[in-house]
Amino acid sequence: MKKLLFLLTLIGSFVVNAQDTGTVSGLITDAKGMPLSGATVSIKILNKGAMTDFDGRYTIENVNVGTYNVAVSYIGYETNTKNILVTAGQTTQVDVSLKDSDTVLDEIILTANKKPQKITDVPATVNVITAREIEEFPSFNIGELAARQKGVDFVRSGVLGTGINIRGFNSAFNSKNLQVTDDRLSSLIATGLPLGSFSTVTKDDIERVEILLGPNGTLYGPNAHNGLVSTITKKPRTSEGTTFAIGAGNQSVLTARLRHAQVIDDKFAYKFHFERSQGTEYDYVDSVYVGTKAYKELELDRDFDSQKYGASLYYKPTKGSELIGYYGHSNTNNIGATNAGRNQIKDWSIDVAQVKFVSKNFFANTYYTWSKTDDTYAMNQRTQNYVSFIDNGFSEQEARERSYTEQWFPTGEGTGIVLPRGAVFKDASKRFNAEAQYNNNWDAFYLTLGAQYQLDMADSKGTYLLDDGGIDLAQTGIYTQLEYKLEDSGWGFLLGGRLDNHDLYGSNFIPKAAITKKVNNGTFRITYGKGIAVPSILNLKGNLFGGLVLGNGEGFTLKDGTKIAKLDVETINSYEIGYKGKISDKLFIDTNAYYNQSDNFISPLVNVAGTATGNFVTHVGDKPIGEVVQGSNGAFILTYLNFGYVDTYGLDVGLNYYFTDSFRAAFNYSYFDRDLDLTDMANDGNLDGKVLESELPINTPNHKFSLGFHYNQGKFYGSIFGRYVQKYDFFSGINIAAKTQDLDGDGVNEIVENARVGRTWNYGQLGGFTVDANAGYNFTDNLSLGMSITNLFNAEVREFVASPVINTLISFELKYKINFFKNQTVATN
């Protein structure tokens, strides 16, 4: 009898529960009717939700009877909220069509916390270059769009060369921020420099670029200490079709691109892309000085070209998971500006192979990177080598042939010796990366837990590294991040930590903390983050041009017995306050102020020898310098040092005003400065016994601002963008761009504008005011024509050392798209 009563009670309970709950299901598409796979549908008050499957469909079961707000979000689209009524035992159909995000506050971003979040919920300053901005920018080089972002230092070194830095201390060899593409490091293996034009992805396959300002080392590891640039490519399931693009411009620029994406069935989809670009750099020669006489760069080739291609295969083992395989390749020929003169880059190729698994709670990623070149060379050193043979009676042919690897030093009448002064760079470096991550949430509590492994295998074949037999360095990191969100009160709390272990530097802990508070139409935040910069292999083991540039992995001893310590890890503690929100119905603001405290700051290249006292380098580590670098007397050594304590601070302000849905104005302003402790002898970069402000140049303007207007209505789109960069001094290795000045107060101007300073010509300070514009017209849904103009009014502005004045650049682009999904019928029930 008791068993029967228990069974009846249990059945009754099920009946009651069925009568008290219902189901919510539906279809999520974009504005054109294309199903959105992976969109998030949530009922926040119940902490219930689901992600859409391959067909854009979702189901949320066991929803208590009642009235709720259902929020639908997807990266790059506006969040859509609907009020629904759930009826007992019934299915409530909620179909939502999302439209592209038109306002800053509607943006959903992925990079900050490695998961989709509304930009106002992220405790960091984030700039987003959207899919629409990329689509409407008719140039193969979307790096220019970074110039339109707050807190970003953008430079142009030529027709092809563009670069970005974040929050100060730019240099020709800049690794002060981390760059990633689809969860892959986008940096060269031995140097840590951003790939830039070496990237294997093409413009038409880029969905968005997210730029995070400030330390992001907790989730991304070392070298994200100043900022992070994340490029995210398109998924074939939401971008099915074929795109053909051809472009042309002055400087003989030609480009052709092809992208194709297709869904095979509910399990498989794929995409591939190809690009070929070429052109001619400005007619500019960087003088090479031998003694006081200037020579033109030997065999300067101003023609550049780039080929890149890649393919991805997407497989869905289940409706809630996806396995992605990717292979990409690039091959580049161009001119690259460096700390020690320009490089003639010859057939430098990058190959990447990646396998990635993504599901609701798990993420796993592994990839392998190859870097290869055999013929790249430094024009400055090769020219010096060539002159040494020509001046000593060698034939033109022999001088050219031997200039790649040797330099002649006369020892007497008709006699001399040959020393290895290699100008050639060879590279056969490789890198292996792996990562696993788990994330979940329980009510208002969110957890992220992960681990990363990286093995760098540098091999310059002895040409630019002290790497006989190669150099292998590994680092491992484990991280966790906890978030607690109180939706009713608007408070949010974040706490994270990471422990990294490096083969050379042992363990380092990277903490992170943040508090956010939603107030009306905005969010206030206060954050603390720590970042670390691990010296690159080049910093530690570099050996360029017969010892002109030496890495500081062992330390140095000078003639007078002075010891220079080997490089240590740089740390930065960053404190920031900020606000993102709506001031009025049409005006949006994103602003921050920050203060950074750096310890063991890794300097730009500085000369630690050859001072007026003849205090030359005698030993590298415990070895005489002549044993490390054959023939070197240590009279001029450029290397990297750890400075002491350096404080930097600044603020960024971004304003967006929407006159209408189709017409927007954007204003950005950034301020940056630093304090150098003049009593800390660790900041004595030139080792002369006194610390000067000039010994650590910030290489960044104190003030910069921009104002842009964007229009998109019907078939026409366009924008015009003015950018002012306050004139500023720039020092990078042997390169100088600065005003006339007395650096040490001795009454003599060590820096003279428009004159030779040291080994290079000083053209004066960088910066100025330029205006860029772009416009386009969509003749049909498939065919469009666009035009882009850089430096519209041909202002005489030099943006980088060892680089020409950037004259007006004009490019045109004709694009034809075939959108497969338009011929498909999307089910609605």
Sequence ranges of the domains in the chain: 19-100, 117-534+569-605+640-822
Q: Does residue 247 surpass a pLDDT of 70?
A: yes
pLDDT of 500 reads: 93
Task: Give first-to-last CA distance, the chain, whole Å.
Answer: 47
pLDDT tens, residue by residue, 422-444 = 899 999 999 999 999 998 888 78
pLDDT tens, residue by residue, 444-464 = 888 999 999 999 999 999 999
Q: Is 221 left (phi over 0), alpha (psi -120 to 50) or beta?
A: left
pLDDT of 117 reads: 65
Residue 541's pLDDT band (cuts 50, 70, 90) = very high
C-alpha 90/C-alpha 562 separation (Å) is 82
Burial classification of residue 779, based on how many CB atoms lie within 10 Å of its CB (0-12 exposed, 13-18 middle, 19 or more buried): exposed
pLDDT of 18 reads: 47
Q: Does residue 509 surpass a pLDDT of 50?
A: yes
Strands (E), 285-423: 288-290, 293-295, 303-315, 321-338, 341-359, 362-378, 406-412, 415-420
Residue 614's pLDDT band (cuts 50, 70, 90) = low
Q: Does residue 420 surpass a pLDDT of 90?
A: no
pLDDT tens, residue by residue, 712-743 = 888 999 999 999 999 999 988 888 999 999 88
Task: Name which of 34-38, 363-367, 559-563 the model is least confident about.
Answer: 34-38
Phi, psi of 528 (to 5 degrees): -130, 135
Could you tell me if 683 and 691 are in contact, meaning their C-beta atoms sit under 8 angstroms apart? yes
pLDDT of 544 reads: 85
Pairing of strands 178-181, 227-233: parallel
Residue 697's pLDDT band (cuts 50, 70, 90) = confident
Residue 825's pLDDT band (cuts 50, 70, 90) = very low
Neighbours of 202 (CB within 10 A): 26
Residue 76's pLDDT band (cuts 50, 70, 90) = low
Torsion of CA 396, 399, 404, 408, to 10 degrees: -160
pLDDT of 829 reads: 31
Mean pLDDT within 342-353? 96
pLDDT of 119 reads: 65
Mean pLDDT within 153-163? 87
3-state secondary structure of 12: helix
pLDDT of 115 reads: 64
Phi, psi of 395 (to 5 degrees): -70, 160
Q: Is 576 left (phi over 0), alpha (psi -120 to 50) or beta?
A: beta
Mean of per-residue pLDDT scores for the chain: 87
Architecture of domain 19-100: Sandwich (2.60)
Mean pLDDT within 619-648? 86
pLDDT tens, residue by residue, 550-589 = 999 999 988 888 888 999 999 999 999 999 988 888 899 9
Distances, alpha carbon 6 to alpha carbons 9, 11, 14, 16, 19, in Å: 5, 9, 13, 15, 20
C-alpha 471/C-alpha 220 separation (Å) is 23
The CATH code that applies to domain 117-534+569-605+640-822 is 2.40.170.20
pLDDT > 90: percent of the chain: 50
Mean pLDDT within 760-765? 93
pLDDT of 429 reads: 96
Record the tokens describing residue 515, joined without a space.
Answer: 């508090």
Residue 826's pLDDT band (cuts 50, 70, 90) = very low
Mean pLDDT within 165-171? 82
Could you tell me if 631 and 669 are in contact, meaning their C-beta atoms sit under 8 angstroms apart? no
pLDDT of 383 reads: 95
pLDDT of 292 reads: 87
Measure the CA angle with vertex 341, ends 336 and 347; round to 5°. 35
Nearest Cα to 564, choosing from 579, 553, 572, 580? 553
3-state secondary structure of 133: helix
Q: Does residue 611 surpass a pLDDT of 60?
A: no
Burial classification of residue 714, based on how many CB atoms lie within 10 Å of its CB (0-12 exposed, 13-18 middle, 19 or more buried): exposed
Could you tell me if 756 and 289 are in contact, meaning their C-beta atoms sit under 8 angstroms apart? yes
Could you tell me if 807 and 791 are in contact, meaning their C-beta atoms sit under 8 angstroms apart? yes
pLDDT tens, residue by residue, 770-798 = 999 999 999 998 999 999 999 999 999 99
Mean pLDDT within 71-93? 83
H or E, element range at 402: helix 396-402
Q: Would the pTM of this model clear 0.75, i.e. be above it? A: yes
Q: Does residue 15 surpass a pLDDT of 70?
A: no
pLDDT of 44 reads: 78
Mean pLDDT within 639-656? 91
Mean pLDDT within 664-683? 88
732 Cβ neighbours under 8 A, 6+ residues apart: 170, 171, 172, 173, 339, 604, 605, 699, 801
CA–chain centroid gap for 627, Å, is 39
Could you tell me if 347 and 374 are in contact, meaning their C-beta atoms sit under 8 angstroms apart? yes
16 Cβ neighbours under 8 A, 6+ residues apart: none
Residue with tokens 């966790």: 480
Q: Does residue 491 surpass a pLDDT of 50?
A: yes
pLDDT tens, residue by residue, 177-230 = 889 999 999 999 998 888 888 999 999 999 889 888 887 778 888 888 788 899
pLDDT of 131 reads: 82
Could you tell me if 553 and 151 are in contact, meaning their C-beta atoms sit under 8 angstroms apart? no
Residue 121's pLDDT band (cuts 50, 70, 90) = low
Pairing of strands 268-280, 227-233: unpaired
